[in-house]
Amino acid sequence: MKKHIPMLDLKAEMADIGDELKEAMAVVLESTQFINGTVVKVLEEEMCNYLGVKHVVTCGNGTDALMIALMAAGLKPGDEVITTPFTFFATAEVISFLGLKVKFADIDEDSFNISPASANAQISDRSRAIMPVHLFGQAADMRALKEIADEHNLLLIEDSAQSTGGKLQMGGKTYHTGTISDVAGTSFFPSKNLACYGDGGAIFTDNDTIAETARMIKNHGSRVKYENEMIGVNSRLDSIQAAILRVKLQKLDEFNASRRRVAENYTEALQGMAEIAVPKVLQEAYHVYHQYTIKVKDGNRDELQAYLKEQGISSVVYYKKPLHLQEAFRKMGLKKGTFPNVEKVADQVLSLPIHPYLPEGDQSYIIESIKRYFQAN
Ligand SMILES: *Cc1c(COP(=O)(O)O)cnc(C)c1O
């Protein structure tokens, strides 16, 4: 039979922990507290403990989390926010949506994360914040970014959507990604490292004022029912999703450890090959491999992807078209050539299947298929 290896296998997850999940969902069904149930509060407390952060404010999805984080941090129309164009669209979308000004910077081509030097070069008198993304599950260079932010009195806002459970060592301490800045947003979209079975997101912060404002914003600008102090939105994590997340939070470290074992296996087998580059891991980072992303040199990426598809192996190009070249940002007038590292890696990257249930046999099959492609070409 022809193999079919998907990027992600939620059926395998259901087969493993489906009973626990159904039990947790049944409790919510019987409670009939579908919105603002106590389970949402309990999840927020458990996440605070897990992350070592003072406040977790859940909301409807990761895009809202980033938007509410920017609003709660007090950014105003015209303020400039420096971020990476090598990310999912939502990161920069919310900046523009709020009437703030997106300022893109180039990336480090080894880590795929925003280059602190390039971010520094984008600073102007209107700069108010830097928004790094911990792309593919590896922390951005927060030490360098924090230095720059402190020197120029800028806020640091993390897009932690791809790195829940990821960590970074800084100044002799280990921090969870999403807790190394003024405020962070994450997503619980079904494919993320910590995921529910629908939409969900959360804001993390140690700052009491930001947390209180975020809570108000996500609830129509209201603290007390029918008293609206400001213009907000309606963005809630529902109780069924919270119940699912409570079960999966208990297993997050184990899931991430499994992802790291798959990554180790890939890296060990592929690192000697001249035609590709395996992911480069920062010494201080605990990479949680939301994606395992190789770089294919010599322009063979699309051919390799087509070959893998013939073998029944899924793979995805995250991200083919950098944000500064997207139609939606055309008004910025940034031409091809503006960010050489971003544009170079966009032509080289290929993400391979990685998840906690990827059988060893499938890992070997993927590795052998990649080797076979380069032996023949
Ligand atoms: C998934 C993702 C988001 C958006 O999350 P949603 O829950 O889909 O709204 C934002 N930024 C990054 C980097 C993401 O990967």
pLDDT by residue, tens only, the chain of 377 residues: 679 999 999 999 999 999 999 999 999 999 999 998 899 999 999 999 999 999 999 999 999 999 999 999 999 999 999 999 999 999 999 999 999 999 999 999 999 999 999 999 999 999 999 999 999 999 999 999 999 999 999 999 999 999 999 999 999 999 999 999 999 999 999 999 999 999 999 999 999 999 999 999 999 999 999 999 999 999 999 999 999 999 999 999 999 999 999 999 999 999 999 999 999 999 999 999 999 999 999 899 999 999 999 999 999 999 999 999 999 999 999 999 999 999 999 999 999 999 999 999 999 999 999 999 999 88
Is the Cβ atom of 138 under 6 angstroms away from ligand 1?
Answer: no
Residues 6+ apart with CB under 8 A from 90: 62, 63, 66, 161
Asked whether the beta carbons of 81 and 128 are under 8 A apart, the reply is yes
Q: What is the C-alpha separation between 56 and 186, in angstroms, rounded?
A: 10
Q: Is 187 in the pocket of ligand 1 (CB under 6 A)?
A: yes
**Is ligand 1 within 6 A of the CB of residue 83?**
no
Q: Which residue puts its alpha carbon closest to atom 7 of ligand 1?
A: 62
Cα 90 to ligand 1 centre (Å): 6
Q: How much is the pLDDT for 1?
A: 66
What pLDDT score was predicted for residue 199? 98
Q: Give residue 100's pLDDT.
A: 98
State residue 57's pLDDT score: 98
Q: Is 189 in the pocket of ligand 1 (CB under 6 A)?
A: yes
- Amino acid 318: pLDDT: 98
Q: What are phi and psi of 121, to 5 degrees?
A: -70, -15
**Any atom of ligand 1 within 6 Å of the Cβ of 164:** no
Instruction: Please classify residue 360 by burial: count the beta carbons closer than 10 Å to its beta carbon, then call 0-12 exposed, 13-18 middle and 19+ buried.
Output: exposed
pLDDT (0 to 100) of residue 377: 84
Phi, psi of 228 (to 5 degrees): -105, 115
Which of 7, 58, 63, 87 has the most ligand 1 atoms within 8 A of CB, as the residue to mutate?
Answer: 63
Closest-lying ligand 1 atom to the alpha carbon of residue 133: 13
pTM beyond cutoff 0.95: yes
Q: How many Å lie between the centroid of ligand 1 and the Cα of residue 1?
A: 36
- Specify whether the CB–CB gap between 163 and 143 falls below 8 A: no
Ligand 1 centroid to Cα of residue 187, in Å, is 6
